Chains A and B, each alone.
Chain A
Amino acid sequence: MTIRFEDPNRPNSYIGRTVPRPNAGRLVKGRGRYVDDILLPRMVHVAFVRSPYAHARIAAIETSQAKSLSGVLAVFTGRDLAEVCTPWEGRLAHLEGMKTPPQHPLAVERACWVGEPVVAVVGRTRADAEEGAAMVEIEFEALPAVTDIRTALDPETPVIHEAFGDNLCFRKTNEKGEVDRIFAEAHTVVEESFKTARHTGVTLEPRVILADWSEAEGEMTVHVSNQAPHMLQVLLASHLGIPESGVRVICGDVGGSFGVKVHVYPDEVATAAIAKILGRPVKFSSDRLEAFTSDIHARDHEATGRIALDETGRILAFDVDDWTGIGPYSIYPRTSAVEGLQVTNLIGGPYEFDHYRCRTSVVFQNKGICAQYRAVGHPVAVAITEGLVDKAAAQMGLDPVEIRRRNLIRDDAYPRTTAAGLKLEALSHHKSLDALIEAMDYEALRSEQASLREKGVHRGIGIASFIELTNPSPFMYGIGGARISAQDGCTVRMDPDGSVVALTGVTEQGQGTEAITAQIVAEAVGVSPGMVRIVTGDTRVTPFGGGTWASRGAGIGGEAALQAGRAVRGQVLAVAAAMLQANAKDLDIRDGIVVDAGTGAERMPLAEIGRIVYFRGDTLPKGLPRELMQTRHFLTSDYPYAFTNGVQASYVEVDAETGFVKLLKHWCVEDCGRIINPLLVDEQIRGGIVQGLGAALFEEICYDEAGQLLNGTMADYLVPMSGEMPDMIIRHVETPTAESELGAKGAGEAGTAGAPAAVMNAINDAIRPLGGSVTHMPFTPERVLRAIGAIGK
């Protein structure tokens, strides 16, 4: 039996409804249990001495003073930990020519960015450990720092990793058609340069790990604020020389991750290695300054791009040269090349055209490591694409909506493969654009803009169409040899009273995984969501899975949950049929009761089936299968990724005297396939948009030329705050994927992907009559004012 999703009155219709999140009440009551809340007997704390230099040779380390403190238990250097922990290299086999040197939990020989952990000090308390850390003396010999992206490959620039001969980590060109000829012959060619600022995820809960090694049991237990517990399990096992089954990673409540917590961090591995050496629980809790210097950064891109169009405004080609600086090491195990790689895949993504070239150059620098952060590469690619499209529209005298109508891939033109090589199953760009125009009353807004302009009020409307990669298959990491699971699993078990427990490999970071999994399992089995308990984030008990990344929880984990729930339902009905001497296919489960499928007449509560199966199995026919616990795994295979699409619009007002940008309103129409919980999806989109608005207006990690971090506090690194956020109108189009019965694609990153481009286009729409434009994020008031020439360059 398939689920009739189109019928909202079907029995157990929990998929598609806004139901409350089971964990919300607990968290609001302050009963969350984050890693830092966990106290274990004999627990000690580690603090790190971090490099104050962007690049320096470690000549000598003097630890005796620190060791002499009564609160200090041990001090470890890079060489000490290298004895128990092997180094890693963030490389993927399918990214040809990629280079990155071995990275250790603590720097050995050289420190390569400000904030790199060099020495670990273990104390009875964190304060003791810090006091010890302050007494460690490290003799550094400063080396020249590489900080600029565009000159990183110049012959005069020092080479960070000498053995490589240059500072190139990875370079790739994605090319199709006759780009040079098309640009030479095109009616209109428009060029622009773009910058997206380096920023970071700023999770509310910083990174925290508590590792405990039991020598007697040969078991490492790690409580950690992380989004990929199984990945961490296998990697810790491999680098610390423990069988994978001997490593248990537990991720309880996680206070936000956004991609920050899907990587292997030297300080966290060091903590686990130290626990193994000391044979006792060791906690590391990152503070905010450490978060700014050692959490992954992202989006440090500079690009030039051009677009070619014919006389009708039809897009013919894109040609983009993207450069990105990633710090001194490629992140492990995902690599830091993926962001640039995504840019080469995603430029021009929503549009119909045949000629394409995009090159990315991924270079090493002496700054924090850049890696995957919410909507990896998308905000960069969407800004470049949509910036070029809008600039072309302005030059050709076309309305931004009209140029998109002429060029967006038709809704009936799927499946198709784009010029960049992306396989698209089914998207809804035109339907989405229509819904957007209606939601924002585009014409009315345009006339308001025009009449206000006469009064000297400069408002602008910006539109950004986008595609978003979700539900990844092993094509993303698996084929490159990384032990990152694209499949996911779910175990559903019925307890004797008819209530249900579901254990899933996807994780809860606050985004609502537990809520949607409960809804899916409830509908699949035929019970109310309140009867379903969800277990996530414990590698010892949940099926092996990938966790949270690339908007995969609902699409992959959700389908596994659906199938596991359906399997339990099938078993229950088989037992019920035997007990009732009925045919299983004439029965159904509704709200915890076995009923006649046709009439809905109640036949037997699940509790009765539970009682018989678990306590009086002797009364059932011998050999009747009665496993009321079923596991299913799911993996996408028809398409490498399930792309989603959407379109955003931003309405802004620019103060031409100060350069300040006021966000008046924001709209997003998004197509994430089947919607499981409308409120959760809306909130994911809103939260994503807020992070995108931060990118557009506020967030920027600043380093000076010597590689010193200039803004390591929340006072200097500006995150978007509610006071500046506009009202957001969210609408949906639903084009389910046919890869799964559930039909869900991801929704967690779309908001972030499109928002910066929409704001950029809106600002430029507002200031175009004043002359000038902005393309370097964030669009600070000063940058806007300089763009319109109100103050000198």
Chain B
Amino acid sequence: MKASIGGYARARSIEHALSLFAEADGAGRYLAGGQSLVAALNLGASAGDMLVDISGIEALRGVRIEGDRLVIGALTRHSEIERNDLVARHVPLLAKAAPLIAHDAIRNRGTIGGSLSHADPAAEYPACAVALDAIFNLEGPNGRRDVAASEFFKGLFETDRAEDEILTAVSVPVAQAGERHAILELTRRSGDYALAGLAIVVRGDRHRIGAFGLGDRPLLCEGAMAALDRGDVDAAATAIADDVDPMSDIQASADYRRHLAGVVLRRLAAELGVAR
């Protein structure tokens, strides 16, 4: 099938992108790395889009420290996250997550902003963002605003971002001394979307767990988090069955995914040395 698009324009700046989007009169669609959008266009999932290519906008690039936060530009590619020193030092979770995403060719093009905006419930970054308590910086025709990761994901491929808003950056608290991050997923083949996965951040004696592949959006697993805070892994493994809300599809049933969530949780707890 041939992708059918209404048009294409390359934005020079955020303002330019916003005005191009406005001109598109409802048919606008931002294009970043294209690794989800182009596949969808090729499947005919969407037709007639006026593509506003934001991949050349300098302001959306770069990784920098701002106070006690690491700010990651939306256009930062998965392969850059994998190799970036600041990310490795301050948000090791993302450095550990990036190699789990797809394959080299896709990681070389796909962007973190694209992944978060696309909001695939089985994707790694959205769950990491939730576990990290990240804040998303958005910019739209009406100005800028910030949204907490836990507020951003609304449902299957649905977010709080308005159609015309650009996700400009994601801002993450830098890891404190002794803070530990871990991510584990189960996939049929390496690079596939996860059947079930968890991302954990241990900050002091508090745990934050983001689940992926286990619901219609990345989920914060509060029951399991509370149990882990108490050092009770068994209770956490039981609680996570209620924290998650997986769907059945041809790859796996909801029951099986729920079971996997418990297994993944125990394995992560063992990796992090959480007391039983």
Question: What is the interface of chain A, defined by CB distance below 8 A to chain B?
Answer: 126-127, 130-131, 287, 289, 657-660, 698, 700, 702, 710-711, 713, 715-716, 718, 721, 723-724, 780-782, 785-786, 790-792
* B186 in contact with A658 (CB, 8 Å): yes
Tell me the interface secondary structure of chain B in the complex. Answer: loop
Residues of B within 8 A of A657 (CB): 263
Q: How far is the CB of A44 from chain B (nearest CB, A)?
A: 15
* B2 in contact with A127 (CB, 8 Å): yes
Seed contacts A723-B189, A781-B252, A786-B256; 20 additional CB < 8 Å A-B pairs: A126-B2, A127-B2, A127-B4, A658-B263, A659-B256, A698-B188, A698-B189, A702-B250, A713-B43, A716-B251, A718-B192, A721-B191, A780-B252, A781-B186, A781-B195, A782-B252, A785-B256, A790-B259, A791-B255, A791-B259
* B256 in contact with A791 (CB, 8 Å): yes
Beyond A126-B2, A289-B1, A713-B43, whether A658 also contacts B188 by CB under 8 A is no
Cα distance A664–B192 in the bound complex, in angstroms: 20
* B188 in contact with A723 (CB, 8 Å): no
Contact with A along B221-233 (1 / 0, CB 8 A): 0000000000000
Cα distance A131–B251 in the bound complex, in angstroms: 33
Q: How far is the CB of B179 from chain A (nearest CB, A)?
A: 28
Q: How far is the CB of A392 from chain B (nearest CB, A)?
A: 31
- Size category of the B interface is 20 to 34
Residues of A within 8 A of B192 (CB): 718
Q: Which of A126, A660, A711, A790 is within 8 Å of B250, CB to CB?
A: A711
Q: How far is the CB of B159 from chain A (nearest CB, A)?
A: 21
Q: How far is the CB of A115 from chain B (nearest CB, A)?
A: 13
- B75 located at the interface, meaning its Cβ lies under 8 Å from any Cβ of chain A in the complex: no
Which of chain B's residues has its CB closest to A700's CB? B250
Q: How far is the CB of B173 from chain A (nearest CB, A)?
A: 32
* B255 in contact with A130 (CB, 8 Å): no
| Chain B positions 230-276 with a Cβ under 8 Å from a chain A Cβ | 250-253, 255-256, 259-260, 263
A-B contact pairs, 15 of them (CB 8 A): A131-B4, A289-B1, A657-B263, A658-B260, A659-B256, A698-B189, A718-B189, A723-B190, A780-B251, A780-B252, A781-B188, A785-B256, A786-B256, A791-B259, A792-B255
Cα distance A131–B4 in the bound complex, in angstroms: 9
Cα distance A723–B191 in the bound complex, in angstroms: 9
Residues of B within 8 A of A713 (CB): 43
Cα distance A392–B248 in the bound complex, in angstroms: 36
Cα distance A287–B2 in the bound complex, in angstroms: 9
Beyond A718-B188, A724-B189, whether A785 also contacts B4 by CB under 8 A is no
Which of chain B's residues has its CB closest to A133's CB? B1
Cα distance A738–B45 in the bound complex, in angstroms: 58
Q: How far is the CB of B220 from chain A (nearest CB, A)?
A: 23
Q: How far is the CB of A718 from chain B (nearest CB, A)?
A: 6
Residues of A within 8 A of B190 (CB): 721, 723-724
Contact with A along B34-54 (1 / 0, CB 8 A): 000000000100000000000
Tell me the interface secondary structure of chain A in the complex. Answer: loop
Which of chain B's residues has its CB closest to A702's CB? B250
Question: What is the interface of chain B, defined by CB distance below 8 A to chain A?
Answer: 1-2, 4, 43, 186, 188-193, 195, 250-253, 255-256, 259-260, 263
Residues of A within 8 A of B253 (CB): 782
Q: Which of B1, B188, B259, B263 is within 8 Å of A130, CB to CB?
A: B1
Cα distance A713–B251 in the bound complex, in angstroms: 13
Cα distance A746–B80 in the bound complex, in angstroms: 48
Q: How far is the CB of A398 from chain B (nearest CB, A)?
A: 34
User: Top 5 nearest A-B pairs by Cβ distance?
Assistant: A723-B190, A127-B2, A782-B256, A657-B263, A702-B250
- Most chain A CB within 10 A, of B190, B191, B252, B259, is at B259
Cα distance A782–B249 in the bound complex, in angstroms: 12
Residues of A within 8 A of B195 (CB): 781
* A287 in contact with B252 (CB, 8 Å): no
Q: How far is the CB of A733 from chain B (nearest CB, A)?
A: 34
- Most chain B CB within 10 A, of A126, A131, A780, is at A780
Cα distance A250–B63 in the bound complex, in angstroms: 55
Q: How far is the CB of B115 from chain A (nearest CB, A)?
A: 16
Cα distance A698–B251 in the bound complex, in angstroms: 10
Which of chain B's residues has its CB closest to A793's CB? B255
Residues of A within 8 A of B186 (CB): 658, 660, 781
Which of chain A's residues has its CB closest to B258's CB? A791
Which of chain A's residues has its CB closest to B252's CB? A782
Residues of B within 8 A of A724 (CB): 189-190
Residues of A within 8 A of B2 (CB): 126-127, 130
* A721 in contact with B189 (CB, 8 Å): yes
Cα distance A414–B43 in the bound complex, in angstroms: 56
Cα distance A715–B42 in the bound complex, in angstroms: 13
Q: How far is the CB of A231 from chain B (nearest CB, A)?
A: 30
Residues of B within 8 A of A711 (CB): 250
Q: How far is the CB of B152 from chain A (nearest CB, A)?
A: 25
Residues of B within 8 A of A721 (CB): 189-191
Cα distance A735–B4 in the bound complex, in angstroms: 57
Cα distance A785–B253 in the bound complex, in angstroms: 12
Which of chain A's residues has its CB closest to B259's CB? A791
Residues of A within 8 A of B256 (CB): 659, 781-782, 785-786, 791
Q: How far is the CB of B198 from chain A (nearest CB, A)?
A: 13
Which of chain A's residues has its CB closest to B263's CB? A657
Q: How far is the CB of A260 from chain B (nearest CB, A)?
A: 20
Q: Which of B1, B188, B250, B259 is within 8 Å of A785, CB to CB?
A: B259
Residues of A within 8 A of B250 (CB): 700, 702, 710-711, 716
Which of chain A's residues has its CB closest to B196's CB? A658
Cα distance A755–B251 in the bound complex, in angstroms: 22
Q: How far is the CB of A455 from chain B (nearest CB, A)?
A: 16
Which of chain A's residues has its CB closest to B253's CB? A782
Residues of A within 8 A of B191 (CB): 721, 723
Which of chain A's residues has its CB closest to B264's CB? A658
Which of chain B's residues has its CB closest to A289's CB? B1
* B263 in contact with A289 (CB, 8 Å): no
Q: How far is the CB of B228 from chain A (nearest CB, A)?
A: 19
Cα distance A674–B1 in the bound complex, in angstroms: 45
Residues of B within 8 A of A710 (CB): 250
Residues of A within 8 A of B1 (CB): 130, 287, 289
Residues of A within 8 A of B193 (CB): 715
Q: How far is the CB of A70 from chain B (nearest CB, A)?
A: 16
* A289 in contact with B259 (CB, 8 Å): no
Cα distance A126–B1 in the bound complex, in angstroms: 8
Which of chain A's residues has its CB closest to B1's CB? A287
Residues of B within 8 A of A131 (CB): 4
Residues of B within 8 A of A718 (CB): 188-189, 192
Which of chain B's residues has its CB closest to A782's CB? B256
Which of chain A's residues has its CB closest to B192's CB? A718
Cα distance A287–B253 in the bound complex, in angstroms: 30
- Most chain A CB within 10 A, of B186, B193, B260, is at B260
Residues of A within 8 A of B189 (CB): 698, 718, 721, 723-724
Which of chain B's residues has its CB closest to A704's CB? B250
Residues of B within 8 A of A660 (CB): 186
Q: How far is the CB of A776 from chain B (nearest CB, A)?
A: 15
Q: How far is the CB of A24 from chain B (nearest CB, A)?
A: 23
Cα distance A713–B249 in the bound complex, in angstroms: 14
Cα distance A287–B189 in the bound complex, in angstroms: 24
* A289 in contact with B43 (CB, 8 Å): yes
Cα distance A657–B1 in the bound complex, in angstroms: 41
Which of chain A's residues has its CB closest to B260's CB? A658
Which of chain B's residues has its CB closest to A290's CB? B1
Q: How far is the CB of B13 from chain A (nearest CB, A)?
A: 32
Cα distance A790–B43 in the bound complex, in angstroms: 38
Residues of B within 8 A of A127 (CB): 2, 4
Q: How far is the CB of B250 from chain A (nearest CB, A)?
A: 5
Q: How far is the CB of B263 from chain A (nearest CB, A)?
A: 5
Residues of B within 8 A of A781 (CB): 186, 188, 195, 252, 256
Cα distance A5–B253 in the bound complex, in angstroms: 57
Which of chain B's residues has its CB closest to A719's CB? B189
Q: How far is the CB of B157 from chain A (nearest CB, A)?
A: 15
Which of chain B's residues has its CB closest to A129's CB? B2
Cα distance A607–B253 in the bound complex, in angstroms: 71
Residues of A within 8 A of B255 (CB): 791-792
